[in-house]
């Protein structure tokens, strides 16, 4: 376990103490950048404010960056992106533990230079990264699943590890959504012992199951480029894949795999990772909170500012900001929010521990439009935090 990493300004017992614990603003600013900009913005409006910066991640974008700040070593490996083009990706390593961030290796952001090709997208890059980690002696693999580009049920993971995926006639199928509709048999790799000796943990930021109305295809398929009809087809294929994985595996039945909380993350990645390999599923927010001693930082603060690119219903379903807010709420600390935009109602904000809609400041609101906010997010984060500072001052903390 790594010790405390949060950075605090010099202690002054009379100063307002504010914990800055933002997530990354996906595709725009890292969590570290948001925290640094927020610190400057608050200082302009709150005299003598004492800020503690604790960038967070929840298993999505920025997970490896946070771990590197904790003292993990960065390791670069050869992998492929979601469209199976060669790339190099950074993993985080500490002793025999290696962390792979799927978003950085083969995530949606890495293939936005091309029109959506969801049927060709794959998690193969994560499998190749895992294979490299195993070959280097890793005994515990953690895979952060947010920000994926594919709905392949984890076929790419298995292919990268050397499993063969065959259709009903014995021909190889691609490790993609197309292959998900064709796969009938799994053939284990020659080095299965390396896979078996390792413990596997999936870090998730959602609790969605693999199948059904709230599952991988129906909920996340549209954002990857699938039509409604294609999502229905994929959901049916995912149910069949659960049957196949359950026959090959040893931990879950097909029905258990289909409804396993978190198995819908990263396009059903856990159907392969948990059903075939035996990976456990954990809240990415909770694991990162333990590593960064989030509870200790909250206990020392007078107020907590959370942050995310978009606050919406997904935020409430296991995302990092909701986890931070739950710790602050339990500790009786006021919670404010900085966001690119917010779709949450006053009632939903109250669930987070945010007492008023005035305690949420968005870049869209201060800039006047989505386009303006996206054009210069660094500037508008600073402006938004000046507004938050004014509201903190008005609160009388």
Q: Average the pLDDT over each of 7-11, 136-140, 346-350, 353-357 and give the range with the smallest value.
A: 7-11
Closest CA to 299 of 335, 337, 338, 327: 327
Asked if 107 and 60 touch (Cβ cutoff 8 Å), the reply is no
pLDDT band at 13 (very low <50, low <70, confident <90, very high): low
Q: What whole-number percentage of the chain has pLDDT above 70?
A: 96
**pLDDT per residue as tens digits for the range 150-178:** 999 999 999 999 999 999 999 999 999 99
Q: Average the pLDDT over 73-87 and give the result.
A: 97
CB atoms within 10 A of CB 343: 12
pLDDT band at 12 (very low <50, low <70, confident <90, very high): low
What pLDDT does 61 receive? 83
Confidence (pTM): 0.86
Question: Could you check whether 7-55+302-395 and 63-285 share the same CATH topology?
Answer: no
Q: Average the pLDDT over 68-83 and give the result.
A: 94
**Domain segments of the chain: what residues?**
7-55+302-395, 63-285
What pLDDT does 86 receive? 97
**pLDDT per residue as tens digits for the range 122-132:** 999 999 999 99
Fold of the domain spanning 7-55+302-395: Rossmann fold (3.40.50)
Q: Average the pLDDT over 238-266 and give the result.
A: 94
**Which residues are paired to 50 by β-bridges?**
17
Asked if 161 and 189 touch (Cβ cutoff 8 Å), the reply is yes
Q: Average the pLDDT over 59-73 and give the result.
A: 89
What pLDDT does 140 receive? 97
CB atoms within 10 A of CB 15: 16
Burial of residue 86, with CB atoms counted within 10 A of its CB: 0-12 exposed, 13-18 middle, 19 or more buried: exposed
**pLDDT per residue as tens digits for the range 192-216:** 999 999 999 999 988 899 999 999 9
Q: What are phi and psi of 96, to 5 degrees?
A: -100, 10
Whether the per-residue pLDDT at 9 is higher than 90: the answer is no
Q: What whole-number percentage of the chain has pLDDT above 90?
A: 80
pLDDT band at 138 (very low <50, low <70, confident <90, very high): very high
Q: Average the pLDDT over each of 2-16, 33-47, 282-296, 352-366 and give the range with the smallest value.
A: 2-16
Higher pLDDT, 388 or 12: 388
Q: What are phi and psi of 343, to 5 degrees?
A: -115, 5
Q: How far apart are CA 258 and CA 87, in angstroms?
A: 32
Whether the per-residue pLDDT at 33 is higher than 80: the answer is yes
Whether the per-residue pLDDT at 190 is higher than 70: the answer is yes
Whether the per-residue pLDDT at 251 is higher than 70: the answer is yes
What pLDDT does 144 receive? 96
**pLDDT per residue as tens digits for the range 288-341:** 888 889 999 999 999 999 999 999 987 887 688 999 999 999 999 999 999 999
What pLDDT does 4 receive? 43
Interacting residues of 14 by C-beta distance below 8 A, sequence separation 6+: 48
Burial of residue 265, with CB atoms counted within 10 A of its CB: 0-12 exposed, 13-18 middle, 19 or more buried: buried
Task: Give the CA distances from residue 374 to residues 27, 318, 335, in Å, rounded to whole numbers and listed in that order.
Answer: 10, 25, 25
What pLDDT does 320 receive? 86
Asked if 18 and 395 touch (Cβ cutoff 8 Å), the reply is no
Q: How far apart are CA 343 and CA 349, in angstroms?
A: 10
Mean pLDDT score of the chain: 92
Q: Average the pLDDT over 235-255 and give the result.
A: 94
Class of domain 63-285: alpha beta
The Cα angle at residue 91 between residues 220 and 225, in degrees rounded to 5: 20
């Amino acid at each position: 376990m790594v010790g405390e990493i949060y950075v605090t300004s010099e202690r002054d017992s009379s100063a307002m103490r504010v914990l800055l614990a933002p997530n990354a603003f996906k595709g725009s600013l890292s969590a570290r950048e948001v925290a640094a900009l927020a610190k400057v913005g608050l200082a302009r409006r709150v005299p003598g404010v004492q800020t503690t910066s604790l960038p967070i991640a929840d298993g999505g974008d920025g997970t490896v960056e946070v771990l590197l700040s904790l003292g993990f070593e960065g390791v670069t490996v050869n992998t492929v992106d979601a469209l199976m083009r060669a790339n190099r990706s950074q993993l985080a390593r500490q002793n025999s533990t290696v962390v792979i961030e799927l978003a950085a290796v083969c995530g949606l952001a890495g293939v936005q230079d091309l029109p959506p090709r969801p049927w060709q997208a794959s998690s193969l890059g994560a499998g190749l990264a895992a294979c490299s980690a195993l070959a280097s002696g890793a005994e515990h693999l953690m895979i952060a699943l947010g920000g994926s580009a594919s709905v392949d049920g984890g076929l790419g993971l298995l292919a990268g590890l050397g499993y063969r995926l065959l259709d009903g006639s014995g021909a190889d199928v691609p490790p993609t959504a197309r292959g998900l509709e064709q796969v009938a048999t799994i053939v284990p790799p020659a080095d299965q012992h390396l896979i078996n000796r390792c413990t596997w943990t999936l870090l998730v930021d959602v609790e969605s199951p693999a199948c059904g109305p709230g599952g991988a295809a129906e909920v996340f398929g549209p954002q990857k480029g699938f039509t409604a009809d294609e999502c229905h087809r994929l959901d049916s294929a995912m149910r069949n894949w659960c049957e196949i994985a359950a026959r090959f595996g040893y931990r879950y039945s097909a029905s258990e795999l289909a409804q396993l909380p978190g198995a819908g993350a990263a396009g059903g990645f856990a159907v392969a990772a948990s059903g075939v390999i035996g990976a456990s599923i954990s809240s990415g927010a909770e694991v990162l909170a333990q590593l960064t001693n989030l509870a200790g930082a909250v206990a020392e603060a007078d107020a907590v500012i959370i942050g995310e690119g978009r606050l919406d219903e997904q935020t409430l379903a296991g995302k990092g900001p909701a986890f931070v807010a739950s710790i602050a709420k339990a500790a009786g600390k006021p919670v404010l929010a900085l966001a690119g935009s917010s779709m949450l109602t006053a009632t939903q904000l109250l669930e987070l521990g945010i007492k008023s809609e005035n305690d949420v400041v968005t870049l869209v609101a201060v800039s006047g439009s989505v386009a303006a906010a996206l054009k210069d997010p660094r500037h508008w984060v600073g402006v938004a935090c000046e507004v938050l500072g004014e509201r903190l001052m008005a609160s009388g903390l």
